[in-house]
A and B are shown apart, each in its own frame.
Chain A
Amino acid sequence: MTAKIVLALCILWAALASVVQVLVARGSGRTDYAVRRGNPLRGIIYNFTVAMTPAHKESVRRHPFKFVVGVVMHIGVLVCLLGVLLLLVGPSAGVGVLAWARPLAALSLLAGLYLLFRRCVDVNLRAMSCPDDYIAILAVCVLVAIVAFIPLGVIGQLVLLIYASVLFIYFPLGKLRHAVFFFVARADFGRRLGYRGTFPPVAGGLE
């Protein structure tokens, strides 16, 4: 019970700290005084939908394997976190989801280890990486490894709850906060290009 309360508090910390960070990043905001030419909302919708498809994203078209590996890792982590959250509200549902997610967690672990390996050997990635980049991948790899390989008995659940608590404390401080800023940044970019009439494009101009 104590471990669950600690985890709940850590989640609350992560949520509050993230909100504060977004508000600080926003500052006093920015009024756009230029006369609007397009539709900001349509720009946001486009940027979260069509613009993210491989057909419209050159980085994905050029690196389909790396993209799929990244997606697999993220899906595994999200499902595992969902399972952890369910442990808080309904233990049987949480255990059920986590047991079901084991193969996915194992796959996610493989994907994470590949991304870690790539970050260690790729000359470009090494040049742009700091310790936090390696720690973030390791941190989620440990999470999915716990789900994949530790039996979810009383001890297993306790280990998972404690580790998830640590992860949520770290979440707003390091690279993991991109999980929040991804939405904020993509919405902001879509809004501005929508306002100017660039998004959504009238016609395709793809390579």
Chain B
Amino acid sequence: MTQPDDDRVKVVPEACEALARAVVGLGAYHMNSCVRCGLCAETCHIYRAEPEPANHPGVKVGKVIDHYRRYHTFLGRHLPALVGAKDLTPRALDELVETVYGRCTACGRCGLHCSIGLDVGAVMRAGRNLLAAVGKVPDGLQRTVDNQLESGNQMAIPREELQSTADWLSEDLQLEMGDDEVRVHVDEPGKRVLYMVNPREVKFFPLSLMAAAGVFHAAGESWTMSSKFYDVTNYGFYSGDNESARELTRRVIEEARTLGVEEIILSECGHGFRSFRWEGPNWMEQAYPIPMRSILELLEEYLDCGRITVDPEKNLDRVTLHDPCNLVRWGGIAEPQRRVLKRVVKDFVEMTPNRQDNFCCGGGGGMLSMSEYGRRRVASGATKAEQIRATGAKIVATPCHNCADQLIDLSKNYQLGVEIQAVVELVYNALN
């Protein structure tokens, strides 16, 4: 007799193919090396908040590796029960969704402290790759990817709205700086720099876009944004859909070519930096024709070259710094923001731990766009909240707008009473 859920136990060939593609040259080494020692437990911010087996990094990474073993190891193929190998069935895929999207931000901290040296982030990303290939991306995250592909930015902000925001920001800047020349430049070809921002800066945090425009003006920078493709984020990276991620990258590089800029500067965005700077060329399988840097590196250059001068007395409150995982651990940018902050604020204090060893705030991995995991997202920020509280800081600087959203939530939920600011805002405030 046919069972009604027979289809639920049939192997999904597309998932097997996607897994095979995902592991070659990157994840497969790591799929073979986990010894399931369990020592990584407390390195994970989600496990620390909710210490249950399902949140243990070893269990989470094991859920992906179980499928790898089934199709890519001898015993997995012939004696699956012996090595815990599992088929990629619709039921298994549904179970995997919660693990790789809802219980892991792929921050990679557990990998750093793994006794073997397993790149857990790469394995979890392989899990996202295969789920994206079979259309199992959570709705909120998929909608964000679709928005980006259809409108050019993740929040589907119309081009006119960007232009209008740029206009009123320009007016405010002119008043504030007392200079009629200062403007937010949009669609101006032949400039030196193409500046990419997080659409949240346009919609909710215009002060950081305004601050960047002010600093660029003070430095005499020649810059512009593109009204078509200004989004520094890449939600294809989060969803595991490498094809979409590649397309989003390609559009920006094409736009930079069209505008004839000499350099692309990425606003303060952790995963945006990682996606464009490190993953993008590999998705496109070619080096970029135009150099690309974080605005943090540019700000430091301005200070070093004397293109801007600052007075730390203008930022007297104690400031601490949150390290976005994708910018610091995966992006290699740990020091420029520190050197900049130490020059623009009077009282800078580090969180502990910090730099590559930092804890994820809980907002990474696309968590902010998946409302079904909202409660866990806020709960998983407990470790970060305690870190912040221990510094006694009034301001948390963070070079990432996703982290900023999460830190604002944490400040409210854990009564931290801190203000969240981008690094460029503190630089702007300190300008002479």
Contact = CB atoms under 8 A, between A and B. Distances in A.
A34 B277 contact: yes
Contacts of B342: none
A45 to B, nearest CB: 13
B33 to A, nearest CB: 4
A29 B25 contact: yes
Nearest to A63: B39
A38 B116 contact: no
B282 A30 contact: yes
Interface stretch (A76-84, A96-104, A143-151, A175-183): A175-183
Contacts of A178: 32-35, 116
Contacts of A198: 328-332, 334, 356
A89 interface: no
B59 A27 contact: no
A185 B113 contact: no
Contacts, number: 196
A153 interface: no
Q: How large is the interface on A (under 10, 10 to 19, 20 to 34, 35 or more residues)?
A: 35 or more
Contacts of A197: 332-333
Given A34-B281, A63-B39, A205-B357, A196 B331 contact: yes
B104 to A, nearest CB: 14
Interface string B69-95: 000111100000111100000000000
Nearest to B63: A128
B26 interface: yes
B75 A185 contact: no
Interface SS, A side: helix
A185 B16 CA distance: 23
Contacts of B334: 198, 201-202, 205
Nearest to A29: B25
B36 A196 contact: no
B42 A124 contact: no
Contact of B84 (A29, A30, A130): A130
Given A21-B32, A198-B328, A198-B334, A35 B287 contact: yes
Nearest to A136: B35
A202 B113 contact: no
Contacts of B75: 132, 173-174
Nearest to B283: A33
Contact of A34 (B33, B66, B278, B352): B278
A29 B26 CA distance: 8
B37 A70 contact: yes
A154 interface: no
A193 B281 CA distance: 16
Contacts of B330: 196, 198
Contact of B43 (A31, A51, A59, A132): A59
A130 B204 CA distance: 48
Given A25-B29, A127-B59, A185-B30, 8 more contacts: A26-B29, A33-B286, A35-B287, A51-B112, A58-B42, A59-B114, A177-B32, A181-B29
Which are the 3 A-B pairs with shortest beta-carbon distances?
Answer: A130-B84, A197-B332, A205-B355
6 contacts: A31-B285, A181-B116, A184-B33, A185-B32, A185-B33, A196-B330
Interface of B: 23-26, 28-43, 53-54, 56, 58-59, 62, 66, 72-75, 81-84, 111-119, 277-282, 284-288, 291, 323, 328-335, 350, 352-358
